Structure 1
């Protein structure tokens, strides 16, 4: 198993350019979540992405303890989620959102789709360390985070006696021609995160030249993370041809073979961009009090401890321990590349268009 089945749709599609249709949704405690939030203080509607999953019983325990019935409305990805929240802000799809990530958080704030909430969970203090720049009211509350990084098939390189790459620059070496695959940043959240990593690494004047170099060195671009990892990557189970793939710092623990003692892959921690996922109460929510309770639930020790195993992300809470295999095989980047949130918001579509023209043509 590898971190979340993040399909190509789990990312951004030139935000704001095209209105996205509502996707199918699932419900806990309701028959038709597609109709939007249910009236009544005993129901709270969570709007989230398709990768939302908790260990069976956790959400049900929250319902039992709180007396609330939780309906879950799922969008395809963080980009679709942000777009739909903006398009429906005058008639919100629910009460609370979870899953807006670093690449789209500022858009939600600028459009006023979330409002501050009375979040009381102790982990809220830890979450404050990941606050969105400029969100002085704390309308978005960090729940989890992950590092998007290049991963290598260590066994492939060892068998051939080829040194593994280690940095972004090293991927331009002819020794790695035709060995690298990344998901399309236009259609993939991790793909967009990697584009931002290159902006952070090479600046606004150099990142596009870097991508041109990757293209000239035989870069492959997949529609999404799943295709890149499971089809093109040599260690993804599909006998792919490329031993370098964009994935997550949390990917290696899931490549320890049955009966083995260590992973067959490694994350390149000098290539990473940190993604944070946020929750917030939707403006105009029918049940803002229930929404705040649900955010407290997401920050509870039980859920925070569950996140690595259920959604393969790092909890923001410092009160819970990571699984032993994560502590050993999934270290985070000490200095992930960064791009100011305001710059992401101002240039996201411009950068995606420039990338498409230069890399896809």
Structure 2
């Protein structure tokens, strides 16, 4: 598993920072000849896909899409998910592409409410229907992932201490000073874990929970890479904290060749479910091509490639997962959730309150 994909979560979430997104204007795109708005698609049938920086699929799949459709796919990255949505909002009157991939459920309502998406009802596998947002079809679910506390099993065995199971366990005295988390103002998994606590304890209870974590010496890192590689005590890390906020898909990456067990595990009672969506941009130069891109992202070939290309889980549950994922990376059966509308309404306030409470 390549660690480079994790940069999706290590860059700033750019929450509410429209001005910062504006600095990365449409001129930062590369390649392609499609008109940014209005008119017809560029010669050769170019379709522009706007994504976050961690979009990755095998070249062979992209070539096959181009061969099957006669289109040329021009992928244009716009930063992390938050920066990308901000950029789409800023440019909605002159859209910078035709289709978008990577809007997640922490920014979904904002994108829909800002009018940057055109309705398109893609045909969904039954397992994906639970992730739909609204009734108009602006956002099509493509993949899902769980942000969870991970535990270094070898550390706990060596110290003869039971591995915690729940969010409440993390506040107990025996786990004092053992947990590293990410700052939700600068890290997407940090934001996801904050939302897990909102989902678990409610809008009136999450702050009290964080007060208990602070009293239990929780350590805060600015990014996933700092928390995982610098603070965490796992095999591929250099730190001394045996608990860290990471992903349900992280443990397979820690399994040595030939091993029959994973040295780390995800605590599946601590997870927040993230969903990534695709859609057709309103005012797209090539809306028909954009629809083909959305359909392609739901195709069995792309869905099967998502785990090992983007380290997320396909929304199509009929697609076979890699063997290591089946064994070491199960999804949570009851992840915590917060509705996209609530996230849009309260995201900034929750982050400000967390900052005041935890880092001062």
Range class of TM-score, shorter chain: over 0.9
Residues 142-174 of structure 1 show CA distances to partners (whole Å, capped at 9, x for unaligned) of 000011100000011111111111111111112
Gaps of 5+ in 2: none
2:24 aligned with 1:22: yes
Q: SS where residue 146 of structure 1 aligns?
A: strand
**Secondary structure of 1:147 counterpart:** strand
Paired with 2:125 and 2:74, the residues of 1 have a C-alpha distance of 24
Distance 1:220 1:13 in 2: 22
Structure 1 stretch displaced more, 271-280 or 231-240? 231-240
Aligned ranges 1:165-180 → 2 under 5 Å: 165-180=164-179
How do 1:86-101 residues align onto structure 2 when only pairs under 5 Å count?
86-101=89-104
Does the Cα contact within 8 Å between 2:49 and 2:100 map onto a contact in 1? yes
Matched-pair contact (CA < 8 Å) for 1:124–1:141: no
The whole-number CA distance in structure 1 between the counterparts of 2:312 and 2:279 is 18
CA shift, 1:255, in A, is 1.0
Aligned to 1:43: 46
Question: Alpha-carbon deviation of 1:352?
Answer: 0.7
Superposed CA offset, 1:210-231 (max 9, x none): 1122122111111111211122
2:101 counterpart SS class: strand
Change (3 A) 1:166 1:125: closer
**Aligned partners of 2:295, 2:9: CA distance in 1, in Å?**
30
- Offset of 1:124 from its aligned partner? 4.8
- Give 2:60's aligned residue: 57
Aligned to 2:329: 330
Distance 1:62 1:334, change over 3 A: same
2:6 & 2:15 partners in 1: Cα distance? 22
Q: Distance in 1 between matches of 2:154 and 2:224?
A: 21
SS in 2 for 1:79: helix
Query: Residue 7 of structure 1 contacts residue 224 of structure 1 at CA under 8 Å; is this kept in 2?
Result: no
Match of 1:308 in 2: 307
Q: Which residue of 2 aligns with 1:242?
A: 241
Alpha-carbon distance, 1:46 to partner: 0.6
> In structure 2, do the counterparts of structure 1 residues 5 and 248 end up closer, same or farther at CA, with 3 Å as the change threshold?
same
Shift of 1:16: 4.6
CA contact (8 A) 2:102 2:276 kept: yes
- Looking at structure 1, the residues matched to 172 and 326 of structure 2 have their Cα atoms a distance apart, in angstroms, of 32
Q: Is there any run of 5+ residues in structure 1 with no aligned partner, and where? A: none
| Residue-pair matches, total | 354
What displacement does 1:56 show?
2.8
Matched with 1:80 is: 83
Partner of 2:271: 272
Alignment of 1:1-361 (within 5 A): 1=1, 4-10=5-11, 12-16=13-17, 18-20=19-21, 21-22=23-24, 30=31, 36=36, 39-40=41-42, 42-117=45-120, 119-120=122-123, 123-132=124-133, 135-235=134-234, 237-361=236-360
Say if 1:178 and 1:332 are closer, same or farther in 2 by CA, change over 3 A.
Answer: same
Q: Aligned pair in 2 of structure 1 residues 335, 195: CA closer, same or farther (>3 Å)?
A: same
Could you tell me how far apart the structure 1 residues matched to 2:119 and 2:125 are?
Answer: 13
Query: Scaled by the length of structure 1, what TM-score is found?
Result: 0.92
CA separation of 1:323/1:15 partners in 2, compared to 1, >3 Å: closer, same or farther?
same
RMSD: 2.1
Asked if 2 retains the 8 angstrom alpha-carbon contact of 1:2 and 1:255, the reply is: no
TM-score (norm 2): 0.92
Measured against aligned partners, the alpha-carbon deviations of 1:248-279 in whole angstroms (never above 9, x if no partner) come to: 11111111112311111000000011000000
Helix, strand or coil for the counterpart of 1:57?
A: helix
* In structure 1, distance between residues paired with 2:339 and 2:12: 19
Tell me the distance in 1 between the aligned counterparts of 2:59 and 2:229. 26
The Cα offsets for residues 164-192 of structure 1, whole Å up to 9 and x where unpaired, read as: 11111111112222211111111111111
Deviation readout 1:90-113 (Å, 9 max, x if unpaired): 111111110000100000001011
Q: Report deviation, 1:282.
A: 0.5
Match of 1:214, SS state, is helix
Displacement, 1:8? 5.0
